[in-house]
A and B are shown apart, each in its own frame.
Chain A
Amino acid sequence: MTNKPKPEKESFLEASFLGQLKIFYFLPPQEKTNRFLPLIIAVMAFLTILGSAAGLAIYNATDDWSAELSQVMTVQIVNPDADERARQVREVLNVLERTAGVEVAEEIPLSDLKALLEPWLGTGNVTEDLPIPAMISITIRSGARIDTASLNVRLQAKAPDASLDDHQQWIGQMTSLSTMIQIAVFVSIALIILTTVAMVMFATRAALAAHRETVEIVHLIGARDALISSEFRKLFMIHGFKGGMIGLAAAVLTLVLIFYLTESIGGALLPRLDLNLGQMIFLGLIPLMTALLSMWTADMTVRHALNKMV
């Protein structure tokens, strides 16, 4: 069996109005030195997008919780005697009605309290004899500030078993936890970026070594460094963009899956994966960032290598 010679194909540019002369380039069009690089960049982009999405979702959730809780306070009255508890509830509501800045103050119905306990104790296990404290929910008027220490003193003067909870301790702990998680995510992303830079650098060096003779020829016939590095810039920009797009596609699929899973197992217990439009655009731009990062790294590496030539 003999191999038939392949017909000579015209490239797009050859066939175009430009005639036979293509745009300036000197690297082979099917440069294969780094064909796995886009896959590695894809993994890095995937991790960056997931990390960023997690960080942003935690930030959004903490922000929402803090905003909600800073407008709400709770008074808890713990007394086993139901009549005394009811008396203290009335006293507390009276004090709150006269307190500037309080928009709404109302007792949380016992049925609601039992409903809140059911997920923890099990349906039907919240019996009538279970001592449940009375709870009063306070909504603060928007923009109003209330001196919680003095309000607590006034409440306890009328209702000795009452205690005011402004949720500040919980908000503080949540904010600290969220900040720590965000720092961890940020450090992880920084490490992923550094790893990507290092990989592109090694890949550029490999490409330079593979095309050493070509680079030497064009250098000797008068090519400027910028022109030589532009060939590698183009090549690695394409690798970076391809990798970024593959990573983005995989990350979007994963995030959609996580979103539906969190929704189905209980949105109340897990933070929702809510991202606003700006944040989604930011994540969508990651392929562009990987393209620019790869391009910049390749450019620096090639210029550094060329500087060693006479």
Chain B
Amino acid sequence: MIRFENVGMRYDNDDEILSDINFELEAGSFHFLTGPSGAGKSSLLKLLYLAHRPSRGKITFFEQDIQNASRSDLINLRRRIGIVFQDFRLLRHLSALENVALPLQMMGGKRKEIQNFAEEILEWVGLKGKTRALPPTLSGGEKQRVAIARAVITKPQLLLADEPTGNVDPEMADRIMKLFVELNKMGTTTVIATHNPALVAKFQAPTMTIREGNLSYDK
């Protein structure tokens, strides 16, 4: 489904952040992405959520070559990806419900249906009573769950989560991970970036490790 072949990435004319990255994500797979801070995890995630094009090599997303894809093609591909950012990136002036509904509103659809679905997803992540709350009034764990709900509302084929348990207590971390596992069981390819070894040990899954811009793959 997603294939990286000898991918390199650099910002402007700096040295390569990522070198010769090779891996393949099969549909419905679950992976951890680990590595020390500054190793290139965020850059790899940027390539995965199509915020950046590779400097060299070939990335194939859903049979489409990213290097040659138009901006319009990239937008269509992004709509098949759900992202949970490390810092949540919720829009402060929109309610939890409106934040969650945003991706569906962009794609169009009936307002009432979107609202019902957003409410359903918020209930699924345990935030039934918080639909009208603005992000600044939510706790870290609640924001995280709103971000997850926003990422999954479009039923993405690929779900990327950057340190999704970094800001929550162990109990909440466990609950969030179980949500990801549940989604994965429904067929969503999932990549969780973390540098929490306990989490990786608990939810056993293939792990991609980045060190100094190079990726190693541990099945």
Contact = CB atoms under 8 A, between A and B. Distances in A.
Given A20-B95, A28-B93, A222 B53 contact: no
B219 interface: no
Interface in A199-235: 213-214, 217-218, 220-225, 227
B202 interface: no
Contacts, number: 64
Interface stretch (B22-30, B105-113, B190-198): B105-113
B71 A222 contact: no
A223 B105 CA distance: 9
Contacts of A20: 95, 97-98, 115, 131-132
Interface residues of B, number: 35
B145 interface: no
Interface in B57-111: 71-72, 74-75, 78-79, 83, 89, 91-95, 97-98, 101-103, 105-107, 111
A20 B95 CA distance: 9
Contacts of A227: 106
B102 A221 contact: yes
Interface residues of A, number: 23
Contacts of B103: 221-222
Q: Which among B52, B105, B150 has the greatest number of chain A C-beta atoms within 10 A?
A: B105
Interface string A1-32: 00000001000000000111110101011000
Interface of A: 8, 18-22, 24, 26, 28-29, 213-214, 217-218, 220-225, 227, 307, 310
18 contacts: A8-B132, A18-B111, A19-B115, A20-B132, A21-B98, A21-B111, A21-B114, A24-B105, A26-B91, A217-B89, A217-B91, A220-B51, A221-B78, A221-B103, A224-B75, A307-B71, A310-B50, A310-B52
Given A218-B106, A220-B83, 5 more contacts: A21-B101, A22-B98, A217-B89, A222-B78, A310-B53
